[in-house]
Structures are given as C-alpha cells and as structure tokens.
Structure 1
Amino acid sequence: MKNSRRDALRKLTMVPALAAAPTLFGASTGNSLKPVSTLQRVQYSVNAYSFNDEFKSGKMDFFDMMEFAADIGLHAVDLTSYYFSSYPNLPDKAEIFALKKRALELGLNISWTGVRNNFVTADVAAREKDRQMIKDWLAVSSQIGSTILRIFTGRNLPDGYTKDQVKAWLVEEYKLCARYGAEVGVFATLQNHNEFLFTADEVIAILERVDSEWFGLILDISGLRTTDDPYAEAEKLAPYAKYWFIKEHVYHDQVKRPTDMSKMATMIKKQGFQGYVSFESLSDGNPKEIIKNMLMDFRGEFENQ
C-alpha cells in the first residue's frame, strides 16, 4: 500500500462518524438533538468472507478491507481467523497491534473475529483441539479489541449417535467456551449456519441450556433454510441476538430469494436491538459494490421507519 494512499485515507478518518451522526444523535428539525437515552444505537460492519476470493488471490488484505469500510461509512470490520497472514498459526502481537492501530486511524472498531470449529465430531481429541483453538482466539480477540468471537457447530451427525447425544456435546463445549470468554472479556457466540441446528427452536434450546451471559447468538437469517418463512424464524431468534448478519439472499424452503431489507429493518428496530449489523456478500460480482448497496438499502429502510 503506497504511503500517499494511506495518508489520504487518514484524512477520511472522521467520515464514518460524520456519516453515522443522524443515526447516533437522531438529528431532527432545526438544531435540536434527541436525547441519547431515547436512541436505538445500531452500527454497521462488513464480514471478511465477502472478500474470500480477493484474500485468497492476494488482491486484498485486512488493511485494504478496513480502508474500504471507512470509505463507505461503516463503523467496524469482522476479521476471520483464516485470513490473518500468520494462519494457521496464531498472529503475533505485532500483527494484532498493527491491525488495531490501523482501525483506530480509520475511525473503525474491530467488532468480531471468527474461527471454524467442529464440535459435532465423535472424535474427542478433535473436539479438545478445537476447544483449545477457540480459547486461543478468544485471547486474540481480547488483544485486538473485539467483543465477540464467532464459533460454529460443525456439519454432520456422526454414525452411531443420535442428534440429542451430539447436542449434549455441544452444550458442554459451549459452556467451556463461555467460561474461557469470561476470563478475557469476549463473548463466545454461535452463528446459526445451516450446518447442524437448522431451526430457531433448536438454536434457542442450545442457548438456554448453555445459559451463560458470555455465550450468545450471531443471527444469520440466511442460515434459516428449512422454513417457508425465514423472517418468522428469525423473529423467534431476535431476542437472543448479540449480533446480526445480513446477506443478499435468504432461503424459503431451500429456494434462494433476495433479502427483503424492509422486513429486516422492521424486525431489528422492533426488537430494540443495540449493536452491530454486519453485511456479507456470497454472490458473484464486485463485493465492494454489493456491500455498499446492501448498506445503503438497509440503512435507508432502518432510518426512515
């Protein structure tokens, strides 16, 4: 990255904050501002997987993603473990602090980090290895200033076991992850990802059995694919959401359709959610343009209701 480009981008550090001002301060007629206590604070992020091809090809890195996020007025970025330059090894402090410093220069938060784990395998040693990975990345998250670490379930029901048996493994593993998260001040947070828990009721049952203030849900409406009304399923999960993912498509009984941003905005506003809404593109095409358009569409719906 050329120094001249970085110097120019530093001058844009205040852009996200200024762009967010109507949302954060509730600008109304005249010069009056709504009291902060009356506002619903929602801020916007982008998930690194949107740039999967660009990261893999070397066309982009986290610093490029941060500059893009600042340029379009986002407040934060989600950094996934497998795009760190050191991966599969843990990043050293120099890498962590360089990202943290750049985020500050651009007026961004690092809201989220994420790993891919498999807790539905019958291999106890493999589960223990992934649990240690999560513990390690909870510590990385704390160092980098992230409040949430995204974790998964895993994909397949192992032969010879019932789903209820495997759910018991999940609950115990998540309890341990929540305990580790409490030690470093980072939420261990499950993304419903169309892998093992397919319905809102299944996800809620796991959340309630884990029963920890340091465990929660990243609500991914695109992961609710076995119902004809994913919005109704998402509304069941909304009270549990610590973070929202919005993608450009949802699935009605496995049939892909464009996401209705008006319905998403209404649901999130109705719930009184305070926190991050993150956008992720999984489509072909220019991910920067797709993310920018998703942000504009959702924000327009949310702020005009």
Structure 2
Amino acid sequence: MNPRSSNRRAFLKTALASVPLVTSAETTLAREVGTKQTSHVRLSCNLYSFNEPLMSRQMSLEDVLTFCAELGFDAVDPTGYYFPNYPTPPDNDYLYRIKRKAFRLGLDISGTGVRNDFTLPDAGRRKMEIELVRKWTDVAARLGAPVIRVFAGTGKELPAGYNRVEVTNWVVDALRECADYAAKQGVLIVLQNHADFIQTADHVLEIIQRVKSDWLAVNLDIGSFKIGDPYAQIARVAPHAATWQIKEKMFMDGQEVTTDLTKVIRIVRESHYRGYLPIETLGKGDPKEKVTVFYDKVKKAMEAAD
C-alpha cells in the first residue's frame, strides 16, 4: 500500500471521528468543509418566473436562458412544462440543444421538476404519477440536472373517506419508490412544500424522516409556509434542503408580507447550505423587470452576509 494513501486514510479517519452525527448526509459534508463558504452559494433562476411568456410562446426556453445569462445568473431551473409536449419527455435532439445552449452561455441547469400528485386514492393512478416522475428523472439525468422537484399532492383537502395518516402512507411509499429509482440515475428527488398536502415543517419532516433515503431531500419553498411563523419553519427544514425557492413574498400567520432577505440568507448560512438558491418571482408585471429587481435584492443580501 502506498504510505501516503495509508497516512491520508488515517488522518481522514481521525478527522471524521470528530464530526457530529446529524440527520442529513449533506449537512454533515457542509460542516466538514466549514461554515464560511459563502462563495459556494450561487443564484439560479426558477423559470416559473417566466411562466406567462413561456406558456404563451412569447419567449422560447432559449430566449429565457439568454436573458438569465446576461443578467448574471449562474444557473437556471426549468420546470418540465416548458419543454415541448409535456408531460411526454422531449426527444434527445431538443434536450441536448437546450443543454448545449446553457453550457455555451455559462449556465448550469440546477434542477427541473414536474407536477405530480401522490395523494390520489386510486392506486393505479398513483402508479402513473410515479411513472411520470421516473420518466422526468431520466430527463434530469440527461440534462445534467442534479435534482428533480416533486410534490406530495396538489390539493389541501384529503380525498373523501381517507384520513391524513393513510394518505401520508401513500406519499411515503411513492417517494421511496421514486428515490430508489433516482439513485440509479444519480439524481436527487427533492420534495417541495407547496401549501397543498404539505403545509407545515412538521409535514415535510415527517415524510423525509419516514422515507429515510439519501436520494430524497427538500426543495425549500420559502413562500409556501402559510401557517404560523415561516422563518421558524424554514430554519427547521433548512438542514434537509438540497435546493430552494426564494420568493419576494412570504406569509406571516397567514398574512402576506415582504420577504426579509437578511433573515432568509442568515438561515441559509446557519444551515451550512452549499449550492444554488433559485429565485422565483410571481404576480403581474414584466418578468424581465421583476426578475432583475429581485435578483439585485438577493445579491445585495448575500453580499451583506459575507
């Protein structure tokens, strides 16, 4: 055995023995490399910000990529609906054209996503939803996207005749199956809290802890905790986040308020997160203008935290 390799392994064994055990492997890694790695948090654009022009074909996906690159984003996060013929996966010619375009513009593809529902009472339909996620996990792998965003369910109301325990069991089983498949593709399934079936930090954490897979993490949507104090809930979920959605507005005890970006960035730092922060703007107005303004605000908040 190479003496240098032996010494290095001995050093690593000693160093790692001092690392505290935490619930997330990704959080453990962040603690190992240090807590002041601010340069490793970069901005991505969740392309739902351009939903209206993309869906109306006023802008193409390539147009939006060009705009994001020129503004200064490091990455983009295009949801599946913006690819032709969704929910059918795009052919490789189109997919690789977008991948090449992003690369040539200096953009990473930080993730993609689908709109699924694992709370459907019909087991056959839930299987179809799992298959949708599997197909788009393949798309994510071909794009080079490290994560695919999924939902638990799309509605707040439980299916008639079923209780939350039963429906949560369906969600857990479906996510476990998706995560097992995603592990073979090298893609993380990230569960988004979306003020639907998942409304609180407790809802998120129960599912994550029950599935208990290294290939399932959280897409932390800061604007979708609408019950109680959102900052407290974000802080609880943050150690499990593999990606985020940073929004202009949040809900404090059900009332819409302007996001305190200083607080949010502090939580990001304290959770030892390293990766992309996708921003998403909503509501009326020119998305180019809205994204530009919010991009600048988030950048300043990040710089102030350095």
SS at match of 1:197: coil
Tell me the number of residue pairs that the alignment of Structure 1 and Structure 2 aligns.
269
For 1:260, the equivalent position in structure 2 comes to 260
Kept after mapping to 2: 8 A contact 1:119/1:170 = yes
Kept after mapping to 1: 8 A contact 2:87/2:132 = no
Superposed displacement of residue 129, structure 1: 0.4
**Aligned ranges 1:92-103 → 2 under 5 Å:** 92-103=91-102
For 1:112, the equivalent position in structure 2 comes to 111
| Cα separation, 2, equivalents of 1:147 and 1:96 | 15
SS at match of 1:304: helix
Taking structure 2 as the reference length, what is the TM-score of the superposition? 0.85
For each residue in 1:208-255, what CA deviation from the matched residue of structure 2 results, as whole angstroms up to 9, or x when unmatched? Answer: 10100000100011110011x211111111111111111110011221
Superposed displacement of residue 88, structure 1: 3.1
SS at match of 2:62: helix
| Cα separation, 2, equivalents of 1:67 and 1:118 | 32
Kept after mapping to 2: 8 A contact 1:269/1:302 = no
For each residue in 1:112-142, what CA deviation from the matched residue of structure 2 results, as whole angstroms up to 9, or x when unmatched? Answer: 1100001001011110001001101000100
| Cα separation, 1, equivalents of 2:88 and 2:238 | 35
Q: Which runs of 4+ in 1 moved over 4 A?
A: none
Q: Which runs of 5+ in 2 are unaligned?
A: 1-32
Kept after mapping to 1: 8 A contact 2:199/2:225 = yes
**Aligned ranges 1:1-16 → 2 under 5 Å:** none
- Does 2:70 align with 1:48? no
Superposed displacement of residue 269, structure 1: 1.5
Superposed displacement of residue 163, structure 1: 0.2
**Aligned ranges 1:194-213 → 2 under 5 Å:** 194-213=195-214
For 2:239, the equivalent position in structure 1 comes to 239
**Aligned ranges 1:135-154 → 2 under 5 Å:** 135-154=134-153
| Cα separation, 1, equivalents of 2:234 and 2:263 | 11
- Does 2:144 align with 1:134? no
| Cα separation, 2, equivalents of 1:56 and 1:103 | 20
For 1:24, the equivalent position in structure 2 comes to none
| Cα separation, 1, equivalents of 2:94 and 2:140 | 13
**Aligned ranges 1:61-210 → 2 under 5 Å:** 61-154=60-153, 155=155, 156-210=157-211
Kept after mapping to 2: 8 A contact 1:121/1:157 = no
For 1:25, the equivalent position in structure 2 comes to none
Taking structure 1 as the reference length, what is the TM-score of the superposition? 0.86
Superposed displacement of residue 95, structure 1: 0.7
For 2:219, the equivalent position in structure 1 comes to 218
| Cα separation, 1, equivalents of 2:190 and 2:180 | 12
Kept after mapping to 1: 8 A contact 2:37/2:274 = no
SS at match of 2:288: helix
For 1:230, the equivalent position in structure 2 comes to 230
| Cα separation, 2, equivalents of 1:53 and 1:183 | 35
SS at match of 2:140: helix
| Cα separation, 2, equivalents of 1:182 and 1:68 | 33
Give the number of the structure with larger relative contact order, counting CA–CA contacts within 8 Å between residues 6 or more apart. 2
Superposed displacement of residue 205, structure 1: 1.0
Superposed displacement of residue 68, structure 1: 0.9
Kept after mapping to 2: 8 A contact 1:121/1:158 = yes
Kept after mapping to 2: 8 A contact 1:76/1:109 = yes
Q: Which runs of 5+ in 1 are unaligned?
A: 1-35
* 1:163 aligned partner, one-letter code: R
| Cα separation, 1, equivalents of 2:301 and 2:222 | 17
